[in-house]
């Protein structure tokens, strides 16, 4: 699981849409969508820090594979 998939999983876990998160971090929704689909590079450190703060997680959660227990409770 890459950074983009982790962003999507954590965002969904927080009950936030792409539009809501992108507005809060000050980027275009298409940029966030591309990150989540891993179509265009990964977000920079500042964007990861902003997302972590907004989503209530640590930056390392975006960078590391999720634990098995996190995968079983994640909705598609």
Domain boundaries, the chain: 3-62
The model's pLDDT over 9-47, given as tens digits with 9 standing for 90+, comes to: 999 999 999 999 999 999 999 999 999 999 988 899 999
**Residue 39 gets which letter from DSSP?**
S
Read off the pLDDT band of 8 (50, 70, 90). very high
3-state helix/strand/coil string of 41-66: CCCCHHHHHHHHHHHCCCCHHHHCCC
Global pTM reads 0.83
Provide the Cα torsion 25, 62, 31, 27; round to 10°: 10
Task: Indicate the class that CATH gives domain 3-62.
Answer: mainly alpha
Sorting pLDDT into bands at 50, 70 and 90, what band is 71?
Answer: low
């Amino acid at each position: 699981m890459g950074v983009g998939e982790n962003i999507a999983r954590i965002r969904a876990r927080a009950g936030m849409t792409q539009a809501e998160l992108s507005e809060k971090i000050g980027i275009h929704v298409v940029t966030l969508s591309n990150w989540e689909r891993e179509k265009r590079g990964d977000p920079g450190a500042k964007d990861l820090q902003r997302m972590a703060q907004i989503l209530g997680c640590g930056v390392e959660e975006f960078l590391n594979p999720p634990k098995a227990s996190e995968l079983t409770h994640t909705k598609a």
